[in-house]
A and B are shown apart, each in its own frame.
Chain A
């Protein structure tokens, strides 16, 4: 069973130093994003254009999916459909098993994380090597990515150096990022060359041409696509754009919002298999059509996975991604979790937000993230229990002035207990790291009465003394 976010955060980032490291790293991404977008003169028009394309595409998604399938097939790709994660994993495994594949080079794909593809294939004797450096780090560590763009953002160089020493034989004590990256390059290069199939995610797919678009900085997806003769591309059904002409707006926003780059180092457009090769495209629903049917929540399907909302979120910055126990963490993850999962913790994730609205403000495609979080809160199943009972009680008290005064008096008496003598108050996690402000001494009503009496007497003395004019 997963832990609630507040407790999971203590496991994810267990020390003050780890929290500070994470917060600094994430805040740096946010700063780079701001700097990069400040240099785009047509930023607002670009965002509105991208949002309009996504809104249009989601409104006619069935038509665009069929057009994409038709064009991709015409270009020589094989298109598969998977209703859910087990179907996706089964399709990918069958494709590999039928061709006798035992070694796969895989590039970053949040969808395959969501579907649990790696453990599924490994349990069936297929070696999967994650080739993005950050993904490789978390794979060797045996943990999940904690950020959708920088998977190992929670790890410090010393930890990665020790990990590489244990797993790939780097010199003990070596933690220079340049040296560690070179060691990973040499290790992964031979794995690329021996891989029998490549699995990639998909950033965008183009309905008019049946093309896939894959963006990376490392070039690992390209090596996975171009070296082995079998390329399997796994994509959520929401990745579609109608036309190639629609793509530049998203490319101009994606890397700037993610890392502050004007564009990723490699943006590869693939239409059909390479000569002599095979291209399989797995279209995955896994709850997305259900989300599409929800007018309040469908906007989340416009997400382009830039991570900007994570980088700006005050909760994500301090908890780390693992605390969400969710493939996609942060505000967008807290919006997606209740749609894709049915456990109690998923329904509590929308409460892991200050509703400051910063996530919505930075979203390059204009998703109303904090509005959607608020909408999920109203539907939270446990709201029917304790929370609703407290709200009803509060309404009763507020409707009766005498009862209100009585409860206020009792609360002032209990104040010292609440503020000082109840650390780790299980009724309110907010108090665990904080103290309530000093006791005000008197109620607002009595202080207001005193203030208005004094005000009246000051008025009286002024009118008796005259203005002097």
Chain B
């Protein structure tokens, strides 16, 4: 008998305790606000900018990147076309991991934000983008304010109503650790900072 058959047989011989699935969770009705999102992100060690008008997105990104100091800045190719004229260098999707490790600031797009915890969903279709998200020193995410949900239930429902299961990372703040005497240190392995720029006109 294979291990698979043995395990399934053993499970099926266990006394059954069939309980009904509780169904969908009913969250308390709360409207998502950028202010709540900013507070959640701040608690997670990140910083928020905006909400800003689309017309000033390029200069806001440039300003945030400058504040991170000198070093190579790379833009998610899916975002470059939205930024208009500028010296934007798109992320090389064929780059070797060693080259991606030299990225100082990576700018990418968030798909859905969650106000209660400051998390932003980033689909990671391209392997190079997935690597760069964790190898860069500083990460900047652009999020449409309209794509904000109050809690994670709403965030999941919104995100997976349009995206395939695929690969996705929900990012809340920079990489961090408190493994040494519970002292919080930002930048354990991944980005040392995370900035989320809100675009749109939802009130704070």
Are A and B genuine complex partners?
yes
Contact between chains at B182 and A28 (CB < 8 Å): yes
Fill in one digit per residue for A192-233: 1 if any B CB lies within 8 Å of its CB, else 0.
Answer: 110000000000001001110000011110110011000000
- Could you say which of B116, B131, B171, B176 contacts A262, with CB atoms under 8 Å apart? B116
Q: Judging by beta carbons under 8 Å apart, are A41 and B28 in contact?
A: yes
Q: Which of A275-308 contact B (CB under 8 A)?
A: 275-277, 283, 285, 289-290, 292-293, 295, 298
- Chain A, residue nearest B15 (CB): A295
From A28, A66, A270, name the one whose CB has the most chain B CB atoms within 10 angstroms. Answer: A270
Which residue of B156, B182, B190 contacts A219 across the interface (Cβ within 8 Å)? B190
| Cα of A17 to Cα of B20 in the assembled complex, Å | 50
Say whether B127 contacts A263, CB under 8 Å: no
Give every chain B residue within 8 A of A152 (Cβ-Cβ).
179-180
A-contact 0/1 string along B177-202, CB 8 Å cutoff? 11111110101111100000000000
**Cβ of B169: which chain A residues have Cβ within 8 Å of it?**
222, 266-269
Residues of B within 8 A of A (CB): 2-4, 6-8, 10-22, 24-28, 40, 43-45, 97-98, 101, 114, 116-119, 124, 127, 130-131, 133-135, 151-153, 155-157, 160, 164-183, 185, 187-191
**Number of residues from A at the complex interface, CB < 8 A:** 95
Contacting pair B8 A262 (CB below 8 A):
no
Contact B157 A245 (CB under 8 A): yes
**Given the complex, which residues of B lie within 8 Å of A285, measured CB to CB?**
3, 6-7, 10
A131, A211, A272: the one within 8 Å of B189 (CB): A131
The answer for the CA separation of A252 and B45 in the assembled complex, in Å, is 18
Judged by a CB distance under 8 angstroms, whether A362 is at the interface is no
Closest to A150 in B: B179
Q: Once bound together, how far apart are the Cα atoms of A270 and B124, in whole Å?
A: 10
Contact of A268 among B7, B13, B168 (CB under 8 A): B168
Q: How many Å lie between the Cα of A242 and that of B21 in the bound state?
A: 9
User: Cβ of A245 and Cβ of B156 under 8 Å apart?
Assistant: yes
| Contacting residues, chain B, for A453 (C-beta < 8 A) | none
Considering the complex, give the chain B residue whose CB is closest to the CB of A164: B180
Contacts of A59 in B (CB 8 A): 16-19
Tell me, rounded to whole Å, the shortest Cβ–Cβ distance linking B114 to chain A: 8
The answer on a CB contact under 8 Å between B175 and A263 is no
A220 to B170, CA, bound (A): 15
Tell me if A346 is interfacial: C-beta within 8 Å of chain B.
no
Q: Which of A155, A193, A275 lies in contact with B101, CB distance below 8 A?
A: A193
Contact with B along A407-424 (1 / 0, CB 8 A): 000000000000000000
B156–A252 touching, CB < 8 Å? no
Please state if B127 and A62 are interface contacts (CB–CB under 8 Å).
no
Please report which residues of chain A, range 44-63, place their CB below 8 angstroms from some CB of chain B when the two chains form the complex. 45-46, 48-49, 52-53, 55-56, 58-62
Smallest distance from the beta carbon of B125 to chain A beta carbons, Å? Answer: 9
**Chain A contact residues, CB within 8 Å of chain B:** 25, 28-29, 41-42, 45-46, 48-49, 52-53, 55-56, 58-62, 65-66, 75, 81-83, 87, 131-134, 137, 150-153, 155-157, 160, 177-178, 180-182, 184-185, 188-189, 192-193, 206, 209-211, 217-220, 222-223, 226-227, 237, 242, 244-245, 247-249, 251-252, 259, 261-272, 274-277, 283, 285, 289-290, 292-293, 295, 298
Most A CB contacts (10 A, CB to CB) among B101, B160, B181 go to B181
Q: Are A55 and B187 in contact, with the CB atoms below 8 A?
A: no
Does the CB pair A177–B44 fall under 8 Å?
no
CB pair B18 A181 closer than 8 Å: no
Q: Is the CB of B177 within 8 A of A218?
A: yes
CB-CB under 8 A for A56 and B189, given A227-B97, A262-B40, A262-B117: no
Assess whether B179 is in contact with A133, with CB atoms less than 8 Å apart.
yes
Residue in contact with A53 in the complex, picked from B2, B22, B118, CB distance below 8 Å: B22
Q: A209 to chain B: which residues have CB within 8 Å?
A: 165
A291 nearest CB neighbor, chain B only = B14
Question: Min CB distance, A426 to chain B, in Å?
Answer: 37
- In Å, the complex CA distance between A281 and B28 comes to 36
16 more contacts with CB within 8 A, not counting A131-B189, A252-B152, are A53-B21, A59-B17, A62-B11, A62-B12, A134-B179, A137-B180, A193-B98, A219-B175, A226-B130, A249-B153, A263-B170, A265-B45, A271-B165, A272-B167, A274-B130, A289-B7
Query: What are 7 A-B residue pairs whose CB atoms fall within 8 Å in the complex?
Result: A82-B3, A157-B183, A211-B165, A220-B188, A263-B114, A268-B168, A276-B127
Within the assembled complex, what's the spacing in Å between the Cα atoms of A25 and B13? 43
Which B residue sits closest to A294, measured CB to CB?
A: B14
Q: Is the CB of B189 within 8 A of A189?
A: yes
